[in-house]
Amino acid sequence: MPGDVLICKINPRINRVWIVSDPSGPFVQVASPEFLVFRPNNPAIARYLMWYLRSPIFRDWIKLSAEGATGSHTRAKSAPILQQPIPIAPAAEYTAIVNTIESHFSHLDAAGASLIRASLALQALQEQRYRAVLSSDAPLVRLSEIARTSSGGTPSRRDASNFGGEIPWIKSGELGDGTVTGTEESITCAGLRSSSAKIFNKGTLLMAMYGATIGRLGIVGMSSAATNQAVCAIEPHDRELTPYLWLCLRALRSDIVAAGKGGAQPNISQGVIQSLSIPLPSPSRRAALVAILERDIDELVRIRGIVDLQASRLTALRRAVLLGAFARRKMEVA
């Protein structure tokens, strides 16, 4: 009913808080087992209670009241929340505290919306600059004509001696459109020999072929490394082509991702990668194009980093507002 304050008890919205009159909240029945319901005796305190339950003071405490293998639900049935003392401001301060919080949050939300718009615009500009590499009027070639491809493998995990050696082993989830300088796991020479894993030299271009990271790129940053079978290694016949080819493959990512749809787990084959059409201008034009695009993209990435930093500062400011509202006042405990 209006004025009820709800805490979600399970993932993916565990510990999220709403008030029923809040239009951004979920439309649920009060009896839903997903929510713990607070019904304040005094309706005027409902928004105050909602903000307190969203505050760092309460949220830091409630993290200790989660159970399950991954903290997937709140132990509401054992009533730690109901037993937790809640600081109550004097009645005359309810409205002032809530008004102050909501005034600050109104400005912070407006700033956050502006940052989201800026981030989306910068992302669109970045994608446009990548696609510019494909607008060349140079003749098209298949990737298989200018590079060879291969993939790696996974040694048997039933034999512990296959892992923990000196050979870095790159998995598709470790490709993040940059240089791979470290890996979570490594394999031994025995693991290399007993599997289809292969050694790739520093500077080899990599692409993820399976799952959520499909189309992501990487460059081997170590002196050499092996990969699992979800990673395609792309080795241009002319190593000078690598920076240009990286830009082309990044520009074609949406096409690559689209080609991998249709199954339970998105995936592409080496055949899809080998058949990609790549414009191939002269070496001098390629070098000029790479220089221009890398400069422009680096600048856009730098600006996006500033936007992301400001967004994180807004998060810190929201926390500070709530912390100040409930930690710096003399309150009664209910």
Which pLDDT score is estimated for 77?
A: 45
The whole domain housing 274 covers 140-280
Do 201 and 272 lie in one domain? The reply is yes
Domain assignment present for 114: no
Q: Is the dihedral of CA 185, 190, 191, 192 positive or negative?
A: positive
pLDDT of residue 188: 96
Is 299 contained in some domain?
Answer: no
> Into how many domains does the chain fold?
2
CATH of the domain at 162: 3.90.220.20
State the average pLDDT over residues 1-14: 69
Domain boundary among 237, 253, 280: 280
More confident of the two residues 246 and 64: 246
What pLDDT, on the 0 to 100 scale, is given for residue 168?
Answer: 96
Residue 54 lies in a domain: yes
- Whether the pLDDT of residue 131 is over 70: the answer is yes
CB crowding 3-21: b at 16 or more within 10 Å, else e: bbbbbbbbeeebbbbbbbe
**What pLDDT was estimated at residue 37?**
76
Q: Are residues 151 and 231 in the same domain?
A: yes
Residue 121 domain-assigned?
A: no
186 and 256 both lie in a single domain: yes
Q: Say if 314 falls within a structural domain.
A: no
User: Is 110 among the domain residues?
Assistant: no
Tell whether the model's pLDDT for residue 309 goes beyond 60.
Answer: yes
* Whether residue 145 sits in one domain with residue 259: yes
Question: Which whole number is the average pLDDT over 273-301?
Answer: 94
Asked if 144 and 275 touch (Cβ cutoff 8 Å), the reply is: yes
Which of the four pLDDT bands, split at 50, 70 and 90, describes residue 49?
confident
29-36 own/partner pairs: CB under 8 Å, 24+ apart: 30/1, 30/4, 33/9, 34/8, 34/9, 34/10, 35/6, 35/7, 35/8, 35/9, 36/6, 36/7, 36/9, 36/74, 36/76, 36/81
In a domain, 164, yes or no: yes
- Range of lowest pLDDT (158-167, 194-203, 256-265, 324-333): 324-333
Whether 301 shows a pLDDT value over 80: the answer reads yes
Mean pLDDT of the chain: 85
Reported for 309-312, long-range contacts at CB under 8 A and 24+ positions apart, including other chains, are: 310/111, 310/115, 311/112, 311/115, 311/116, 311/119
Residues 6+ apart with CB under 8 A from 98: 47, 48, 51
In the prediction, which pLDDT does 334 show? 47
Q: What percent of the chain has pLDDT over 90?
A: 60
Alpha helices in 159-201 (DSSP H): 189-193
Least reliable range by pLDDT among 2-6, 66-70, 213-217: 66-70
d(CA 61, CA 295): 47
What pLDDT is recorded for position 330?
A: 47
264 has pLDDT over 70? no
Residues 149, 213 within the same domain: yes
Same-domain check for residues 150 and 256 = yes
Angle at 121 between CA 120 and CA 125, to 5 degrees: 115
Question: d(Cα 151, Cα 126) in Å, to the nearest integer?
Answer: 29
Residues 247 and 164 in one domain: yes
258 shares a domain with 146: yes
What's the pLDDT at 220? 97
44 and 147 assigned to the same domain: no
Whether residues 58 and 145 share a domain: the answer is: no
Q: Could you tell me how many residues make up the chain?
A: 334
Structure tokens that stand for 95 in this block: 């409205």
Say yes or no: 75 and 179 in one domain: no
Token duo for residue 217: 């790129």
Mean per-residue pLDDT for 161-184?
A: 95
Q: Are residues 262 and 160 in the same domain?
A: yes
Q: Give the pTM.
A: 0.75
